[in-house]
Structure 1
Amino acid sequence: MSSSPAHLVPLLLQAHQLSGGPAGHMAIEDLSFAWSAGLHWVCGDEGSGKTSLLRLLAGDLQQLAGTLQTPQGGVFWVDLKGPEHDQTTVQACWDQLQTRYPQWHNELLQDLSEALDMERHRHKPLYMLSTGSRRKVMLIAALASGTTITLLDQPFASLDQVSIRVIKDLLHDTTECSGRAWIVADYEAPDDLPLTSVLNLGTAA
């Protein structure tokens, strides 16, 4: 696995010799990297540890070794794919997440809900949504959260082209948000977004 730490200051999130992963699987081993404000990409093949890294950064997975320095202002991470969320409505999901993030932007949530055609789905439980619409619930919450660090896992999967463009336009604008970092995991780094850094986790063994 290769890494090229961002040298811009201030650094918002720093991992030093970080190791960990799902039970019985060391997905991330001895990783040192630092993220400044801006838009960052984590790329790699299936099974290379992209999602595991985001979960480690969020504290959703227990690190087995190393240190992780996180900023004040919070880290956004949520995975709504599991069946435990099936009966929760879109609005209830957003309401629950809002209580966790004090810098939440309701006006931005409203704008995104309209732009991504989610207004008609607000009172539906998640099990009634398509894979793409379910992903939009997470994306809207992430973008509206107001956290210092926002972690996104494959944000464009199952989205239509109009929705992809809306999300890319917003990610493009994040380069103007000083003091915030966006860390996105996907198979390849895009060539149409202004990336601050790219971390290549390489090919899974």
Structure 2
Amino acid sequence: MAESTAVVEGLCFRYGSGPPVLDGIEFAASPGEVVGLLGRNGSGKTTLLRLLAGLIQATAGQLATSHLPTVVFDRTPFQESLSGRENLLLGLALRGRGELAEDVPRWLAAIDLSDDADRPVAEYSLGMRRRLAMVEALSCGPQLTLLDEPTLGLDPQGRHVLGELLRASASDGGTILIATNDAVFAERECSRIVILGSGQILADGPSSDLIAALNAPTIIEVELDHDPPSTTPPAGLTVISTTLESLVVTGASASSQLPELCAWLSEAGGSVRAIKIREPGLDDVFHRLTGTRLRSEDGEMR
């Protein structure tokens, strides 16, 4: 295995006298990995990035990085009076990578900024600024890159471009750590998922392995016009979550048991408003571990 790019051992952090945000976590990230740090707001994922970037000091434990990290948080500073093209060229010059200047037009085209390349960054929208920040961070070859909520402000095209940049950087030997609560993007683009909650690492592995461990081949989401039944569901079905007027059910043959499911629900009175059948995803893993759900790709909480 390649030497780790980032190593965390027994890492603890708390703000003042408050409860620990991170409480003895341990993990290592290697070249070629895109690691998604998945968790709700306040789970410690951004704090972990700030610790790795050297912006704050740990309360206890150790961490080490083999490269000076490139960091993209929610607001990336640019030279506002310079154009997007000029900002990229300046960044390359400051990093001693001027030989990559000939690639700048290709990068700008990849993030759909060719037509706006010579406009001052001060005139860019949030999404345009985010795309520019990502390409600046991920375009300088093998390194350690820390991205905080990179999908915020990005439209579907921006998400697609970000995914391509992540894969290209990882294939060149880069290591990328992404703090996010976007389960859909993380499942699609991250080679490894670290789920954080209550200051701990709750799960760590490829999303496919984490989802397979659910042993839930089919997920059925049901919207009701009444509270979910309190009685036991039909044999072969398991209720994995409930809210007011909705529930989520799984089972090895859940799809073929829809008539039984509907009959059971009707016994509670009222009627079924909608039924959605889907495959399980990373958000279901998160819910199984924490009892809460993350936001979907469109930004809504589920």
TM-score (norm 2): 0.55
Q: Work out whether residues 42 and 201 of structure 1, in 8 Å CA contact, stay in contact via their aligned partners in 2.
A: yes
Q: Which residue of 2 aligns with 1:159?
A: 154
Q: Which residue of 1 aligns with 2:3?
A: 10
Q: CA deviation at 1:146?
A: 2.4
Q: Which residue of 2 aligns with 1:40?
A: 35
Q: Which residue of 2 aligns with 1:193?
A: 189
Q: 1:109 to 1:185 in 2, by over 3 A?
A: farther
Q: Work out whether residues 45 and 203 of structure 1, in 8 Å CA contact, stay in contact via their aligned partners in 2.
A: no
Q: Work out whether residues 10 and 36 of structure 1, in 8 Å CA contact, stay in contact via their aligned partners in 2.
A: yes
| 1:84-126 Cα deviation digits (max 9, x unpaired) | 7584533454344334434574344432211222234344444
Q: Which residue of 1 aligns with 2:139?
A: 144
Tell me whether 1:81 sits opposite 2:75 in the alignment.
yes
**Alignment gaps of 5+ in structure 1:** 1-7
Q: Work out whether residues 21 and 56 of structure 1, in 8 Å CA contact, stay in contact via their aligned partners in 2.
A: no
Q: Work out whether residues 14 and 33 of structure 1, in 8 Å CA contact, stay in contact via their aligned partners in 2.
A: yes
d(CA) in 2 for partners of 1:22, 1:99: 37
Q: Work out whether residues 42 and 184 of structure 1, in 8 Å CA contact, stay in contact via their aligned partners in 2.
A: yes
Q: CA deviation at 1:46?
A: 1.2
Q: CA deviation at 1:152?
A: 1.4
Structure 1 SS opposite 2:163: helix
Q: Which residue of 2 aligns with 1:121?
A: 116
Q: CA deviation at 1:169?
A: 2.4
Q: Which residue of 1 aligns with 2:23?
A: 29
d(CA) in 1 for partners of 2:74, 2:149: 13
Q: Work out which of the two has the higher radius of gyration on C-alpha atoms and give 1 or 2.
A: 2
Q: CA deviation at 1:191?
A: 2.8
Q: 1:113 to 1:85 in 2, by over 3 A?
A: closer
Q: Work out whether residues 48 and 203 of structure 1, in 8 Å CA contact, stay in contact via their aligned partners in 2.
A: yes
Q: 1:22 to 1:158 in 2, by over 3 A?
A: farther
d(CA) in 2 for partners of 1:67, 1:113: 39
d(CA) in 1 for partners of 2:87, 2:104: 12
Comparing 123-132 with 134-143, which one deviates more in the overlay? 123-132
Structure 1 SS opposite 2:108: helix
Structure-to-structure mapping, 1:32-71, within 5 angstroms: 32-37=26-31, 38-71=33-66
Comparing 183-192 with 122-131, which one deviates more in the overlay? 122-131
> Aligned AA for 2:91?
L
Q: Which residue of 1 aligns with 2:92?
A: 98
d(CA) in 1 for partners of 2:91, 2:10: 31
Count matched residues. 194
Q: Work out whether residues 44 and 186 of structure 1, in 8 Å CA contact, stay in contact via their aligned partners in 2.
A: yes
Q: Work out whether residues 111 and 132 of structure 2, in 8 Å CA contact, stay in contact via their aligned partners in 1.
A: no
TM-score (norm 1): 0.77
Q: 1:121 to 1:200 in 2, by over 3 A?
A: same
Q: 1:173 to 1:71 in 2, by over 3 A?
A: same
